[in-house]
Chain A
Amino acid sequence: MTNTKTRGKVLWTVVTILVLIYALFPVISILATSFKAPSDLTSGKFLPSSGKATTSNYEQILVGDAQGLFLSALRNSIGISLIATFIAVVLATLCAYAIARLDFPGKKLVLTTALAVSIFPVISIVTPLFNLWRTIGLYDTWLGLIIPYLSLTLPISIWTLAAFFRQIPWELEQAAQVDGATTWQAFRKAIVPLAAPGVFTTAIIAFFIAWNDFVYGISLTSTEAARPVPAALAFFTGASQFEAPTGAISAAAIIVTIPIVLLVLLFQRQIVSGLTSGAVKG
């Protein structure tokens, strides 16, 4: 009995470590690369050569030559992703609530359309969108990216939130109504607080999608006015044409990872918190 238990534990530990290595190795590799001096890049070693570790890559993108390119891109990325996430979550919350609670004609259609939209390959839409945006003046603007990002984030938000709302017992809302709440009050005071973990989860997923987008970012922008970080990285150049910008790109990659990690750590409690436990007989 104890034997099988410890063996199971060992097995799980091994599996966990393997998965961790698989997932984190690239990140650590990039982190190591970001501290390498340009001359050290081709050394073929995993870690920077001793004595040659440098923060010059970070200096370059934060205060040096690439500062203009990187910081404006960072600003764009944060702004555009946050706005797209916010709009997607608000719309998806209302939409998912209606889908979970109400019986209306076309309910299935909404869900299948949402799915169909997210199945469409981004690359096939980007060219027509490029032409359209140029004609109507949305090319190289924040709005010009927010709209396509919504098409990516809304479907998944609607699906996750609809599944989430279905778990919330309807009785809670009815109880609130009997207790004297209007429909809106019942939604706001009984349902929204319970849905919060789901909303946070959805928001984070939506934010990832917008934050990580590359195709729209590089195709629908041309200047620092709207270019997001993933696209901006492609425009990094080395100090001379004989130097690869690998170090600077690695440093930038590390910096753009930080907000995501912070976000997850910050909202971890909300995501994990016990959903609706205790609401009804459990």
Chain B
Amino acid sequence: MASITLNHLVKKYGDGFPAVNDISIDIADGEFIILVGPSGCGKSTLLRMIVGLEDITDGDLLINGQRVNDKAPRDRNLAMVFQNYALYPHLTVYENIAFPLRLAKGKHSEEQVDKLVTEAAATLELTDHLQRKPANLSGGQRQRVAMGRAIVRQADAFLFDEPLSNLDAKLRGQMRSEISQMQRRLGVTSVYVTHDQTEAMTLGDRVAVLKKGELQQIASPRELYEQPVNLFVAGFIGSPSMNFLPATLEGNVLRTAVGDLEIPAEKARKAAGKKVVLVGVRPEFFEDAKLVEDHKRSNGSTFMATLTHTEWLGNEQYGYINFDPAPEMRELLNNLARDMDADELRPQVVVTLDAASRIRGGREAELWLDTRKLHLFDAETGENLTRDAEAGAELTRQAGEERAEEIATAQQADGHGNGNGTGFSSGTSGRTDGAPHGQGNGAPVDAAATRSGGATAAGGKRSAG
């Protein structure tokens, strides 16, 4: 158990290029931190700096308040799961898991090693495979062995480097929930690198969004989603991603390429004086005006638009509106797309409509937009003009409380449950046969299990789109 403090960490390579630039993060004991960003943003480098595989050019790295900049990886007592698992192919699964214990010479007797390995294997459902070689295992099993090697010793923290990126989609969802439950049960500080935002949103207590080696924002998933600090975070988090519409502000009315929108005076005031702003609207802020209940209608404004086409997904449908931005705006949008790893941001608005909506492509229709939730961004700096820092902080504080509660319940359940791994494995079997997951667990785990189950379902829905 440990807290990790990153204090103005800098990593410069030989050519002076800063791969990681002045990043400061305080990771509390037991917290699950996600590092996320497009490829080349320095997230993996940062993780490798923490574990000691990359030298730190400048700044301090503290584990439990102790500066460890110059310590070798083996003296930091951290466990890491590599993207390609890095199993030792000449050793059996048993010896792979026992490897860290055998290296700590004299600390463990043969019986202790055996006990620890058997326990870890039971937790990860590897008991039947202990005598096999990694070459004969499936991808998911290899992944578990890599995890087993991490959990077998009492490491201060777990570091994950895109551990699920080599698995297929179904297995990824399953392993994701297993990692989440295991982290809660063990209460171990974890740092997890990913480029998959479903993983970021579902696993993290707090998510750090990185861009070009710089920390953009670190907050709970909800704060990132609802109160992003800038265009980059707003565009990176969420799928389908947030729509950005260039607009000019006249009083309380935004003149955009898809129509005029009246916004709350409070938001307009924050953007006052700016000639051009970018309006950030998440797809689900839109709705078919016909289906909006009367008492909600006043929360937003309606406009007429022609959808090019719609995609019906069963639980909802996506509609697409093309628009033609001014040339200088197009440039801005393209820059933004490049930052986020896409070639070109198509001047298109994605709207999520109720599955019952009869709006179809080609016909003009009336859409309603919840204007309370939209954000206005400075077109030059990308800064979010309408961010409510207090509301955001409140969301992150709530997430922190939930975490503490979950760890407590998970560990409590573990304590008077049927020993190690029970909740874990029944969670898994619940998943595989499609039954509601978490069933069969004791009452105390239910809250945690339901929550993560819900989150997974939401994640699945998002990635389906």
Contact = CB atoms under 8 A, between A and B. Distances in A.
A280 interface: yes
A174 B83 CA distance: 12
Interface stretch (B130-138, B264-272, B441-449): B130-138
Interface stretch (B85-93, B191-199, B332-340, B452-460): B85-93
Given A178-B73, A179-B149, A169 B86 contact: yes
Given A177-B73, A178-B73, A278 B134 contact: yes
Contact of A278 (B78, B82, B83, B89): B89
A67 B137 CA distance: 57
B75 to A, nearest CB: 9
A177 B89 CA distance: 16
A193 B90 contact: yes
Interface string A159-181: 00000000001011011111111
Interface string B123-144: 0000000000111110100100
A178 B51 contact: yes
A280 B103 contact: no
Interface centre among B79, B82, B153 (most CB of A within 10 A): B82
Interface in A142-191: 169, 171-172, 174-182, 185, 189-190
Contacts of B103: 176, 179-181, 185, 189
Given A176-B99, A177-B72, A281 B142 contact: yes
Query: Which of B72, B74, B134, B136 is packed against the most chain A CB atoms within 10 Å?
Result: B74
A177 to B, nearest CB: 4
Interface in A56-90: none
B80 interface: yes
A101 to B, nearest CB: 13
A274 interface: yes
Contact of A172 (B74, B86, B133): B86
Interface in B90-149: 90, 99-100, 103-104, 133-137, 139, 142, 149
A279 interface: yes
Given A278-B137, A281-B142, A281-B166, A178 B74 contact: yes
B136 A278 contact: yes
Nearest to A273: B90
A277 interface: yes
B150 to A, nearest CB: 9
Contacts of B88: 172, 175-176, 189-190, 193, 279
A191 to B, nearest CB: 10
B180 interface: no
Given A194-B90, A278-B134, A278-B136, A175 B82 contact: yes
A180 B133 contact: no
A276 interface: yes
A279 B135 CA distance: 7
B313 interface: no
Nearest to A280: B84
B53 interface: yes
Most chain B CB within a 10 A radius of its CB, from A177, A178, A190? A178
A171 B103 CA distance: 17
A169 to B, nearest CB: 7
Contact of B85 (A177, A276, A281): A281
A182 B85 contact: no
A172 B83 CA distance: 11
Contact of B86 (A171, A185, A277): A171
A175 B80 CA distance: 7
A178 B87 contact: no
A165 to B, nearest CB: 15
A193 B92 CA distance: 13
Contact size class for A?
A: 20 to 34
A278 B87 contact: yes
Contact of B74 (A181, A274, A280, A281): A181
Interface in B166-182: 166
B73 A171 contact: no
B104 A180 contact: yes
Contact of B84 (A169, A177, A179): A169
B364 to A, nearest CB: 51
Given A178-B78, A180-B103, A278 B86 contact: no
B135 A182 contact: no
Contact of B80 (A178, A193, A278): A178
Interface in A240-282: 274, 276-282
Contacts of B85: 279-281
A182 B74 contact: yes
Interface string B53-66: 10000000000000
Given A274-B135, A278-B137, A281-B166, A180 B86 contact: no
A200 to B, nearest CB: 14
Interface string A189-220: 11001100000000000000000000000000
A274 B72 CA distance: 32
A277 to B, nearest CB: 5
Nearest to B53: A174
Contacts of A174: 53, 73, 82, 86
Contacts of B135: 274, 277-278, 282
9 nearest A-B pairs in the assembled complex, by CB-CB distance = A278-B135, A280-B84, A171-B86, A278-B134, A175-B86, A179-B100, A180-B103, A279-B89, A281-B166
Given A177-B72, A279-B87, 9 more contacts: A171-B84, A172-B88, A174-B82, A175-B80, A179-B149, A181-B103, A274-B135, A278-B87, A281-B139
Interface of B: 51-53, 72-74, 78-80, 82-90, 99-100, 103-104, 133-137, 139, 142, 149, 153, 166
12 contacts: A171-B84, A176-B88, A176-B99, A177-B72, A180-B153, A193-B88, A278-B89, A278-B134, A278-B142, A280-B84, A280-B86, A281-B166
